[in-house]
Every structure is written in C-alpha cells, then in structure tokens.
C-alpha cells in the first residue's frame, strides 16, 4: 500500500468522522433522538463511507494489477529482444542430448560391440566430448561440439554462410548405418542434393526409438535450449544420385527421426 492510497483512506475516514460527529452532537442535543431527515443523512453517510472505501480498494487493486501486467510485458519484451539478439550471434558451441525411454539392455550392448571404424572417412573430422548415460530404462546420449567441431563438422552449401545460434522449430535427423559408399561426395553433406531425404518417408514406427527427446543448447545457453519430440520412421537404403533408382548395396541405410519443438507445457509450438 503506497502513501497515496493511505491518504485516500484517511480522507474517507475523516469525511465520515465529521458527518458522524455532527449527527452525534445533534442526537445528544435532542435527547438521543434523530429526525427522519437526520436518520436518512446518517444512512447515506455510512453508505457513502462504505462505497468510498470499496472504490479506493478497487482502484488500488486495479492499479497494482496494471503495474504487474506492464512489468510482465516489459520482461517478455526484454526476453524476446535478448533471444533475437542471441539467435543472430555466431554459433560457437552446440550441445546435443538425445534421451530415449524403455531401452532394452541388449540395444546398448549391441551398439557397443558393433562400434567399428566407418569404411568412408570424412576429411573434416574433429574430436568431441561424447557420453552415454543409462538410468534404468532411460538412455541419454550426449555430444558436445566446440568451436573446432563447429567449423569442421557443420556442412553448409555456401562457405560464406556463418552458422547462427538460432535454433529451428522443426528438426529432421538422419541416422546412417552400414556405410560402405555414398552416391555423393561425403566431404560435404550439404551438397548431397536430393540424395538425402528432406522429409520423413512413411508413417512413424513403434519401438523405444519413437517419442524420444532431443535437446539442442547453443553457445552454452541451457535456459534457451530447444527440445524436440522426435518420431521414428522406417529405414531404407539410400538411393542413387538425385534420389533415382540407382541403388548399391554399399550405400548406407537411412533412418529418419523427425520432430517439432515443444513448448514449456509439453505442447508443440506453432510454426
């Protein structure tokens, strides 16, 4: 309660007190009897005092709510401005964490035993920090890409395009396995043309891979991390150049996982 509100309440009390004092004086002078007019005046004074106090309270609450709403709007505007500024900054680090639920023990055991050097080596490679964490039936895979990996590991069609920290609202992830050869130069996947699928094929599949959560954190900003609800789509053999019918057994198998960015309440964002 501020000083202005206190003064309003005091004014209402003083006003009512002066009227009440005058009526009490007349009441005493007339041997504790009031005329009809004086009784009406007394009732109006009480009603006016009640309405005045209620009006002051409503005005005070309305002003407080308006100030709080303005404060929230200002905070939202500052946050939006900070996000916009951050999204336009250069991408210097990226943390990727993929969480899957209800993963059977044999799945991680098989992946560990089959870890081999790929037949096709990319010329631009980097050492990154990786980890696999298992808690009961949940498995979390984590990759941390620093500035060197950002420079070497992110493929762009135009070398002059500097990767930004802006994170997408929808994400398609391609898992390539059984790699023996490619129908394009593996030095830059951004030059693959139509060989790599831009959208999922078929309907989502059942399994622990479905409904996983993938989290991207740019430049160490965990508060602004993007979380994606990933769906699991059928695996197919990568086609020939331009997505044609030319298919070789040495070409990799491609599994697509795609998802939309989720909001803080668990719903999908409207893109």
For residue 6, give the H/E element and its range. Answer: helix 3-29
Q: Is residue 162 part of a domain?
A: yes
55 and 136 within one domain: no
The predicted structure's pLDDT at residue 142:
93
More confident residue, 26 or 159: 159
Q: Is residue 271 part of a domain?
A: no
Query: How many structural domains are present in the chain?
Result: 2
Q: What is the pLDDT of residues 33-55, one digit of tens each?
A: 656 766 676 676 677 767 777 77
251 and 144 within one domain: yes
Q: Is residue 99 part of a domain?
A: yes
Indicate the residue among 87, 120, 153 that finishes a domain.
87
**Gap between the Cα atoms of 144 and 93, Å rounded:** 8
Indicate the residue among 87, 109, 127 that finishes a domain.
87
Domain span at residue 72 reads 3-87
Q: Is residue 270 part of a domain?
A: no
More confident residue, 158 or 31: 158
Q: Is residue 269 part of a domain?
A: no
Q: What confidence tier does 128 reach under pLDDT thresholds 50, 70, 90? A: confident
146 and 64 within one domain: no
The predicted structure's pLDDT at residue 113:
46
In the predicted structure, residue 185 carries a pLDDT above the cut 70: yes
Please tell me the pTM assigned to this model: 0.61
Q: What is the pLDDT of residues 234-264, one digit of tens each?
A: 888 887 444 444 557 788 889 899 999 986 4
**Gap between the Cα atoms of 1 and 270, Å rounded:** 41
The predicted structure's pLDDT at residue 110:
53
25 and 73 within one domain: yes
User: Do the beta carbons of residue 213 and residue 99 sit within 8 Å?
Assistant: yes
Output the CA–CA distances (angstroms, integers) from residue 116 to 109, 122, 179, 206, 251, in the order listed: 14, 15, 11, 27, 17
99 and 55 within one domain: no
Contacts for 117 with CB less than 8 Å, ≥ 6 apart = none
227 and 169 within one domain: yes
193 and 111 within one domain: yes
153 and 234 within one domain: yes
Mean pLDDT within 152-180: 85
Q: What's the CA angle centered on 68, arms 63 and 70, to 5 degrees?
A: 95
37 and 140 within one domain: no
253 and 185 within one domain: yes
Q: Which residue has the tokens 């206190």?
A: 6
Indicate the residue among 34, 68, 87 that finishes a domain.
87
Helices 3-29 and 36-87: crossing angle in degrees, nearest 10, is 170
218 and 99 within one domain: yes
In the predicted structure, residue 105 carries a pLDDT above the cut 80: no
Output the CA–CA distances (angstroms, integers) from residue 99 to 110, 211, 215, 268, 269, in the order listed: 18, 9, 8, 18, 20
């Amino acid at each position: 309660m501020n000083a202005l509100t206190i003064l309003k309440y005091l004014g209402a009390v003083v006003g009512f007190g002066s009227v009440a004092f005058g009526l009490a004086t007349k009441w005493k002078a007339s041997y504790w009897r009031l005329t009809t007019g004086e009784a009406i005046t007394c009732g109006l004074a009480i009603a006016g005092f009640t309405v005045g106090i209620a009006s002051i309270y409503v005005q005070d609450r309305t002003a407080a709510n308006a100030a709080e709403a303005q404060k929230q709007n200002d905070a939202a505007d500052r946050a939006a401005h900070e996000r916009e500024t951050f999204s336009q900054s250069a991408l210097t680090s990226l943390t990727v964490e993929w969480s899957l639920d209800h993963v059977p023990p044999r799945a991680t055991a098989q992946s560990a035993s089959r870890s081999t050097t790929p037949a096709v080596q990319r010329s631009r490679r980097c050492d990154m920090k990786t980890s696999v964490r298992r808690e009961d039936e949940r498995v979390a895979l984590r990759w941390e890409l620093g500035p060197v990996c950002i420079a070497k590991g992110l493929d762009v069609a135009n070398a002059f395009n500097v990767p930004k920290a802006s994170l997408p609202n929808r994400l398609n992830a391609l898992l390539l396995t059984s790699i023996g050869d490619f129908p394009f130069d593996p030095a830059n996947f951004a030059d693959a043309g139509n060989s790599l699928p831009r959208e999922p094929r078929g309907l989502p599949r059942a399994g622990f891979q479905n409904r996983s959560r993938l989290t991207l954190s740019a430049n160490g900003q965990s508060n602004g991390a993007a979380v994606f609800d990933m769906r699991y789509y059928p695996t197919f053999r990568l086609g020939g150049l331009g997505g044609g019918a030319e298919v070789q057994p040495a070409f990799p198998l491609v599994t697509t996982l795609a998802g939309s960015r989720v909001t803080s309440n668990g719903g999908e964002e409207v893109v």
